Amino acid sequence: MAKEVKFSLVFRDMWQSAGKYQPRVDQLVKVAPAIIKMGCFDRVETNGGGFEQVNLLYGENPNKSVREWTKPFHEAGIQTHMLDRALNGLRMSPVPKDVRKLFYKVKKAQGTDITRIFCGLNDPRNVIPSIQYSKEAGMIAQAALCITYSPIHTVEYYVNLAKQFIDAGADEICLKDMAGIGRPVSLGKIVEGIKKLKKDIVIQYHSHAGPGFNMASILEVCNAGCDYIDTGMSPLSWGTGHADIIAVQEMLKDAGFKVKEINMAAYMEVRTQIQEMCDDFLGYYIPDLNHINNSLLVKPGLPGGMMGSLMTDLEDNLKSLNKWKVKNNQPELTTDDLLIKLFDEVAYVWPKVGYPCLVTPFSQYVKNLALMNVMQMEKGKARWSMIADTIWDMILGKAGQLPGPVAPELVQMAKEQGREFETQDPQSYFPDKLDEFRKEMQENGWELGEDDEELFELAMHPEQYRAYKSGKAKADFEADLAKRKAAKNAPAAGAEGPKSVTVQVNGVNYKVEIAYGDAVPAAAPIAALAGGAAPAAAPAGEGEDILAPLEGKFYLVKDNSETPVKVGDTVQAGDTLGYIEAMKTFNAIRADKAGTITAILVNSGDSVEEDDPIMKMA
């Protein structure tokens, strides 16, 4: 009898791999019946990873979104699954233990059946507690092996890792080939080895199309006994996304596997709705290059899920770098120039920092470190001259054990800066905090939400949740979208176009200034018109300007455990003055000498460009 292979539609990851944002809840609920009608999916990836954080960024409640989005699939008998970053929960940084436990209770109550637990370091100390917490909450625990290609990451390495997860109670195993660089034959051997450990263990394979291996990989893992295959669909398949369900289904059917048929009328209906979502607003955040397969990705091994946002971030970094080059009479770089420099630097940096699997958050850390190196070296500065604290945490072992050794120059740099390498359980560095967040909600008069889901959102994404509650997130998003639409529909050379537009958020009007072509700025602080006012920056004082070291969002603190500096504070050289959040990483701004803060020129959460004055110090 032919072996059956079942399919999952990774709808969340399709969007994350293409661009920056996810569909709104009304769009998700509208497309769900057509996905069900396609008839070929036993599972749909509905949430997890950056889904909830992205909802907050454009001012939508993620709890409402998850509950309404998962409901129709349950009613149709289709399982829903989510992506889960183990120690990091749904964010880039580690999560307290009590928040991790609440996480699974909330997601199960909201309608998510399966949690795919992964750690970019493949550290069992990070994954095994999540296996236990998810099973206690009634979820199916799917433990992921983060697939990459290095001298350390062998077939034996992965089979031994799977054994640890199975012994710890994992219900299923996922081969998470997030960059699509797993070599097909090796992947087949990994599946074969896991099935020898436990014949009836369910194995699901996830891969990205970009480098070009994944159709061969899908065939190899299925021949070795894989049970579920993750797929995408047009217009968000291939490129930095996933193989299209049509091609996968036809290939496996020809190979003799039992697979479900596709209702093509429903396929076209879903395809049309996805295109409508792109035309509505999501397409403004999807770079054209993300639709193209690119074997250059084999060398740096960057994951498809990150490439979606990378190309958007790269636009801003290129503008910032070229601005500096023009100022210093140097030739400007093209996007391709910067991309090749970045890919080469990632390949250089990766072994130096111990071969972490290039998946969230460590793919971002390695990429950010490489990009900072490129940016600094292009300006004549030294490699490693800007390393964010979270990246140091990875290097020092605070986020888990690195697969390989750290390069001697980084070990020496850590020693010179008084940093110590860590060997404790990573969770021990992040104590419980739910009571603090519960108190904050009570003081603000905020509801804890059904099943404590609003408390969970604040605890998981503090800064984004506060910006969502204040309305700032929605206003910033609407302002940025208005600028992108204006830029895309810019007038012909010599013609006049509008200099500003007004967007309305929750009944409040905001004026957005517009520039065209290369002069289009990143999202900037917005000025409210009638009906509300943006908070005023502190008045300028005496002394020297402290400049933003890079482009991004300015924050005085990165979490509520820190005390923000204020006007009148005396600081010492090396003290942290604030942070620039760029490319999902908080980069510390440190005082280069002792002095007194005389002015804070921007508000926490404001967008800044490189070299913008953010404070004054005398």
At 51-71, the pLDDT tens digits run 988 889 889 999 999 999 999
- For residue 144, what are the β-bridge partners? 174
The letter for the amino acid at 133 is Y
CA distances (Å), origin 374, targets 202, 304, 494: 43, 21, 36
Token readout for 597 is 């803060």
The per-residue pLDDT for range 63-99, each reduced to its tens digit, is 999 999 999 999 999 999 999 999 999 998 899 999 9
Q: Is the dihedral of CA 562, 564, 570, 573 positive or negative?
A: positive
Can you tell me the distance from the alpha carbon of 180 to that of 184, in angstroms, rounded to the nearest whole number? Answer: 10
Rounded mean pLDDT, 480-492: 77
Rounded mean pLDDT, 359-370: 87
- Tell me the pLDDT band of 524, cut-offs 50, 70 and 90: very low
Contact status, residue 56 vs residue 464, Cβ threshold 8 Å = yes
Burial class (CB in 10 A: 0-12, 13-18, 19+), 20: buried
- Per mean pLDDT, which of 18-32, 159-173, 312-326 is the most reliable? 159-173
Can you tell me the distance from the alpha carbon of 101 to that of 427, in angstroms, rounded to the nearest whole number? Answer: 12
Token readout for 200 is 């009836």
DSSP 75-96: HTT-EEEEEE-GGGTTSSS---
List, as own/partner pairs, every contact residues 411-419 make where C-beta atoms lie below 8 angstroms and the sequence separation is at least 24, other chains included. 413/384, 419/392
**What's the farthest any 2 CA atoms get from each other in the chain?**
81
Mean pLDDT of the chain: 88
Query: Topology of 544-617 in CATH?
Result: OB fold (Dihydrolipoamide Acetyltransferase, E2P) (2.40.50)
From the list 43, 37, 34, 54, the residue with the least C-alpha distance to 7 is 43
pLDDT at res. 562 = 81
C-alpha 443, offset from chain centre: 31
Q: What's phi and psi for 30, nearest 5 deg?
A: -70, -35
The letter for the amino acid at 500 is S
Rounded mean pLDDT, 575-579: 90
Checking if the pLDDT of 521 tops 50, the result is no
In the chain, CATH 3.20.20.70 sits at 6-291
CB atoms within 10 A of CB 158: 24
Q: Find the range with the poorest average confidence among 215-219, 354-358, 403-407, 518-522.
A: 518-522
Cis-peptide, bond into residue 124, ω within 30° of zero: no
The per-residue pLDDT for range 425-452, each reduced to its tens digit, is 999 999 999 999 999 999 999 999 999 9
From the list 168, 98, 164, 158, the residue with the least C-alpha distance to 135 is 168
Q: Is the dihedral of CA 106, 447, 563, 433 positive or negative?
A: negative
Contact status, residue 201 vs residue 173, Cβ threshold 8 Å = yes
Q: State the distance between the two ends of the chain, measured CA to CA, in whole angstroms.
A: 80
From the list 6, 15, 36, the residue with the least C-alpha distance to 233 is 15
Can you tell me the distance from the alpha carbon of 556 to that of 411, in angstroms, rounded to the nearest whole number? Answer: 29
Can you tell me the distance from the alpha carbon of 348 to that of 25, in angstroms, rounded to the nearest whole number? Answer: 41
Burial class (CB in 10 A: 0-12, 13-18, 19+), 411: middle
Checking if the pLDDT of 318 tops 70, the result is yes
Give the containing element (helix H, strand E) for 114: strand 114-117
Rounded mean pLDDT, 526-555: 62
Burial class (CB in 10 A: 0-12, 13-18, 19+), 447: exposed
The letter for the amino acid at 51 is F
More confident residue, 118 or 375: 118
C-alpha 265, offset from chain centre: 33
CB environment 202-228: b (16+ within 10 A), e (fewer)? bbbbbbbbbbebbbebbbbbbbbbbbb
- Tell me the pLDDT band of 134, cut-offs 50, 70 and 90: very high
- For residue 176, what are the β-bridge partners? 146, 206
pLDDT at res. 596 = 93
Q: Is 548 helix (H, G, I), strand (E, B) or coil?
A: coil
In the chain, CATH 2.40.50.100 sits at 544-617
From the list 93, 94, 170, 159, the residue with the least C-alpha distance to 128 is 170
pLDDT at res. 538 = 38
pLDDT at res. 535 = 40
Can you tell me the distance from the alpha carbon of 399 to that of 93, in angstroms, rounded to the nearest whole number? Answer: 9
pLDDT at res. 549 = 81
Residues in Cβ contact with 269 at an 8 Å cutoff, skipping those fewer than 6 apart = 34, 37
- Domain spanning 6-291: which CATH class is it, in words? alpha beta
Can you tell me the distance from the alpha carbon of 59 to that of 471, in angstroms, rounded to the nearest whole number? Answer: 7
Q: Is 45 helix (H, G, I), strand (E, B) or coil?
A: strand
Can you tell me the distance from the alpha carbon of 495 to that of 504, in angstroms, rounded to the nearest whole number? Answer: 27
Token readout for 436 is 């603090």
pLDDT at res. 511 = 53
- Tell me the pLDDT band of 517, cut-offs 50, 70 and 90: very low
Can you tell me the distance from the alpha carbon of 187 to that of 172, in angstroms, rounded to the nearest whole number? Answer: 17
Token readout for 354 is 């111990």
CB atoms within 10 A of CB 2: 11
From the list 215, 207, 212, 223, the residue with the least C-alpha distance to 255 is 223
- For residue 146, what are the β-bridge partners? 176
Rounded mean pLDDT, 20-34: 94
The per-residue pLDDT for range 497-513, each reduced to its tens digit, is 555 555 555 555 555 55
Can you tell me the distance from the alpha carbon of 102 to that of 91, in angstroms, rounded to the nearest whole number? Answer: 15
Can you tell me the distance from the alpha carbon of 317 to that of 580, in angstroms, rounded to the nearest whole number? Answer: 14
CB environment 301-340: b (16+ within 10 A), e (fewer)? bbbbbbbbbbbbbbebbbbbbbbeeeeeeeeebeeeebbe
